Each structure stands twice: as structure tokens, then as C-alpha cells.
Amino acid sequence: MNRLENGTYETTSVGGETVRAFVPRALPPSPPIDMDAALSRTMERALLACGRLDSVSALLPDPSIFLYSYVRREAVLSSQIEGTQSSLSDLLLYELDEVPGVPFDDVAEVSNYVAAMQHGLDRMSAGFPLSNRLIKEIHERLMSGGRGSDRMPGEFRRSQNWIGGTRPGNAEFVPPPATSVEQCMSELEKYIHRNDVPTLVKAALAHVQFETIHPFLDGNGRTGRLLIAMILQNESVLRQPLLYLSLYLKQNRAEYYRLLGSVRTTGDWEQWLSFFMEGVEQTSAGAVETAHRLLYRFNIDNEAIRTNGLKLGSVLRVHSALQARPIVTIDHICEMANMTFPTASKAIDILLSLGIVREITGKQRNRVYAYHHFLAILNEGAEPFA
């Protein structure tokens, strides 16, 4: 449906140029979303897929094991959409204080994304409301240190920004003037708190509205994708925060940006909703498949260890530790599995002989080991853009 009055244009002067900045109408859309039969079926499939994903989390011996790496995979993917070249392995090495083979700023940005996401989830689990204050806190952590740290982290912008082009005058899109940001975000916060909107619809519409407002000088794309996860978790769509759309958005990046633009210019929320719901369905199904593949891998490797029989208890404990942290040093294993250095070293030697882990530095000292089968499953689709 076309809604030609989806917002208004405000003429403003930026750097000596006159530009038309777009101020979106407050949500919900008017006239209301047309939930025709096709869109309703798409949303039903998305909800069923979320239910299956919620069920599979109960199969995991410890959901936090899966979450640790899965959250980091999402951080890598969301950051790749913005142009970083880090991989999941780069991030895990960085967290071990090892130096990955990518620019420091890239991997630091991804690490900040993990910290921002965890901060938001922790705050909400402690009862703090999903609000503009929390969004600012998340943004502050996202932008701390490295690129963007001088771009007002944690504060709504006080100057005009733009999307595409080299200046506002030739930009693809000019968001609201800075004087309108507080009001626009206040209206968005009110919409997020409504309890008469289906959660998936709320997350879909709030994401577009946030990206249209573009309230920060930098980091809006990543913050807006975090907002989707925060809304889903805040409204308990899943018991565990396992649904992240960045892989789907990365794989369909051109269509994603086209639909964001279409909502702004024509108010076609229905087409965006269909795209979003398909993404939820595909992403949920992908997460279910990934969880099953990881469980199968863990069982295969457990059987190989039991068949070997040597130092069974210590090797199984190290294998469990690797499920929680798939890139480790011997020192980390000692800490995680509560064992001595010689015992951990012998267990790693057995896992090396079984082909379950690989040493990835080629060094004789300060060696690093990777649970490569685990990483290979999680890395699918998470490779940096060529």
C-alpha cells in the first residue's frame, strides 16, 4: 500500500546548501497495515519458526554454550554489513589477547558490538525498561574506542547527517533535522512500549523507523539491528536470545536497503513486513539447523573420545570447555576446566591426535587451539565480504 504522506519534508540549510530533510510520521502507519491473507500466512510461518527455535534451545545441554559463540557470530555479521573485515575467529583471537590478521579498528568494533548487546540484555534481564536511555547506553558501548569514538557516543546528534553521497546536497536520503530527533525518538519509544502490537510487527516497524530517524552521528545501522534483538527479547518471543537477522540482511543487502527507501518514499510497510517475516522464518530455521548440527558434532566427537579411552575424564572436560570457547590456549583450558597445565596439555594432545582440535599459530610457544569443526559450522555465511 502506498502512503504518500508517510512523513513530511523540512527545508533546512546545511553547510551553505538547502536540503529537504525527511521527518517520518509517528508509528503506527496510517492507514493501518493491510494484513492480507498472504502477509498473514507469512507472519504465521515466522511465528511457528520462532516456536521451533525456542523448543530446540531446550535440547542444548547448556544454552549459554551456544549463546557465547552465536552472539559473537551476530556481532561479526552485523559489523560486516557496515564494511568491517573481521571473522568470528578474528574476534575470538582478539578476546584471547592474540593479534588477529585484520585491522585493529575492525575487530575492536566487533568486540564493542558484543559488549553493547550484552549490556542491553543484562539491563533488561535486571528489569530496566527498553527505552531511549538504554538505547543511548548501548550506543555508547558500541562506539567506545576506535572509529566513531569522537562521534558523540551515547548522545543523540546535534547536527545534520545524511545517507549516501558526499554531502547533504547530493545524498540519497537526508534524515530529520537535529531539532526533530528527540521528538521522533520519544514517539518511537512510546510505540515500542505499546502492548497492542504483535511483537514481530513491532520489531519490524521500529527498526525502519529508527534507521529513518538516524538519531546518532554514527553506528545507526548496528544499533538499529541490535534494537530488533532487544525488542524480541524484551517481549519474551524466545527464552534465549537466539534470533538475529544480520546474516539474512547481509545476504539480501541490496533488497534490504531498497525496502528501507521504499518505506520512506511510498509508505509501503507491507512489502517491508513480508521481507522481514521471511527473514525471521529463514533465520529461525537456520538457527535450528545449526543447533542440531552442533549437537551432532559434539556427540560424534564425544564418541571418538570414549572409543579412544585414554585419560577419558580429563579429555571430556577439555572437550566441554571447547564447546564453550572454541578458540583457547592451555592456560585458558586450565582455568575453565579446573585442571593442571600438564593434564590439560595431555588432553589437548589426544584431541589433536583425534583431529578434533587444530593448533592455529604454528608456534612452539604460546600456542592456540581451535575446535575447527565447531567454528566451520558457525562460520558459514560469516566470511568477510570479498
Specify the higher pLDDT residue, 372 or 99: 372
pLDDT of residue 363: 84
Q: Is the pLDDT of residue 364 over 70?
A: yes
What is the share, in percent, of the chain residues with pLDDT greater than 90?
67
**Closest by alpha carbon to 275, among 291, 261, 289?**
261
| Same domain assignment for residues 285 and 323 | no
Which three cell numbers, joined as nine digits, stand for 200?
Answer: 514481530
pLDDT of residue 152: 92
pLDDT of residue 37: 95
Residue 268 maps to a domain? yes
pLDDT of residue 311: 67
| Same domain assignment for residues 240 and 366 | no
Task: Taking residues 14-34, report their average pLDDT.
Answer: 91
| Same domain assignment for residues 172 and 50 | yes
**Amino acid identity at 307:** T
pLDDT in tens, 124-175: 999 999 999 999 999 999 999 767 777 899 999 999 999 998 888 899 999 9
**Amino acid identity at 326:** P
| Same domain assignment for residues 362 and 254 | no
How far apart are the C-alpha atoms of 103 and 384, rounded to whole Å?
13
Residue 236 maps to a domain? yes
CATH number (domain holding residue 364): 1.10.10.10
Residue 326 maps to a domain? yes
User: How confident is residue 385, by pLDDT bands cut at 50, 70 and 90?
Assistant: low
Q: Is the pLDDT of residue 59 over 90?
A: no
Q: Is the pLDDT of residue 19 over 70?
A: yes
Task: Taking residues 87-101, report their average pLDDT.
Answer: 81
Q: Is the pLDDT of residue 101 over 90?
A: no
Task: Taking residues 359-373, report their average pLDDT.
Answer: 90
Q: What are phi and psi of 8, to 5 degrees?
A: -125, 160
pLDDT of residue 146: 67
| Same domain assignment for residues 197 and 103 | yes
Average pLDDT of the residues of the chain: 91
Taking the CA atoms of 351, 353, 354 and 360 in sequence, report the sign of the dihedral they define: positive
| Same domain assignment for residues 224 and 281 | yes
User: How confident is residue 108, by pLDDT bands cut at 50, 70 and 90?
Assistant: confident
CA distances for 332 relative to 97, 341, 360, 364, 371, angstroms: 12, 10, 15, 17, 14
CA distances for 296 relative to 180, 293, 301, angstroms: 52, 5, 9
pLDDT of residue 145: 78
User: How confident is residue 64, by pLDDT bands cut at 50, 70 and 90?
Assistant: confident
Task: Taking residues 318-347, report their average pLDDT.
Answer: 93
- Our count of domains for the chain comes to 2
Residue 205 maps to a domain? yes
Which residues make beta-bridge pairs with 18? 13
> What burial class does residue 47 get, using C-beta atoms within 10 Å of its C-beta: 0-12 exposed, 13-18 middle, 19+ buried?
middle
pLDDT of residue 275: 98
Specify the higher pLDDT residue, 100 or 223: 223
Residue 299 maps to a domain? no
Task: Taking residues 213-234, report their average pLDDT.
Answer: 96
| Same domain assignment for residues 214 and 333 | no
Residue 170 maps to a domain? yes
Q: Is the pLDDT of residue 377 over 60?
A: yes
Report, in this order, helix, strand and coil percent for the chain, each rounded to 5: 60, 5, 35
Residue 1 maps to a domain? no
Instruction: Name residue, grid cell 578476546.
Output: 95
pLDDT of residue 168: 86
Q: Is the pLDDT of residue 347 over 90?
A: yes
Phi/psi region, residue 152 (left: phi>0; alpha: psi -120 to 50; beta: rest), is left
Burial 72-82 (b: 16+ CB within 10 A, else e): bbbbbbbbbbb
Q: What are phi and psi of 22, to 5 degrees?
A: -95, 125
How far apart are the C-alpha atoms of 36 and 43, rounded to whole Å?
11
How far apart are the C-alpha atoms of 175 and 208, rounded to whole Å?
12
Q: Is the pLDDT of residue 386 over 60?
A: no
pLDDT of residue 310: 64
Residues 6+ away with beta carbon under 8 Å from 228: 203, 204, 206, 207, 244, 245
How far apart are the C-alpha atoms of 112 and 146, rounded to whole Å?
10
DSSP state of 169: G
**3-class SS of residue 242:** coil
The DSSP H or E segment spanning 23 is strand 17-24
| Same domain assignment for residues 224 and 322 | no
**Closest by alpha carbon to 300, among 348, 359, 371?**
371
**3-class SS of residue 341:** helix
Task: Taking residues 48-58, report their average pLDDT.
Answer: 88
**Closest by alpha carbon to 274, among 24, 27, 29, 34?**
34
pLDDT of residue 196: 95
How far apart are the C-alpha atoms of 217 and 200, rounded to whole Å?
27
| Same domain assignment for residues 343 and 201 | no
| Same domain assignment for residues 260 and 329 | no
Residue 115 maps to a domain? yes
Task: Taking residues 12-25, report their average pLDDT.
Answer: 90
Burial 321-336 (b: 16+ CB within 10 A, else e): bbbbbbbbbbebbbeb
| Same domain assignment for residues 241 and 319 | no
CATH number (domain holding residue 125): 1.10.3290.10
Structural domain harbouring 369: 309-379
Task: Taking residues 280-297, report their average pLDDT.
Answer: 92
Q: What are phi and psi of 296, to 5 degrees?
A: -60, -45
* Angle at alpha carbon of residue 302, lines to 375 and 343, rounded to 5°: 90
CA distances for 120 relative to 106, 142, 207, 226, angstroms: 22, 11, 16, 9
Q: Which of 45-49, 103-107, 124-128, 363-367 has the lowest mean pLDDT?
A: 103-107
Q: Is the pLDDT of residue 96 over 80?
A: yes
| Same domain assignment for residues 16 and 137 | yes
**Amino acid identity at 74:** E
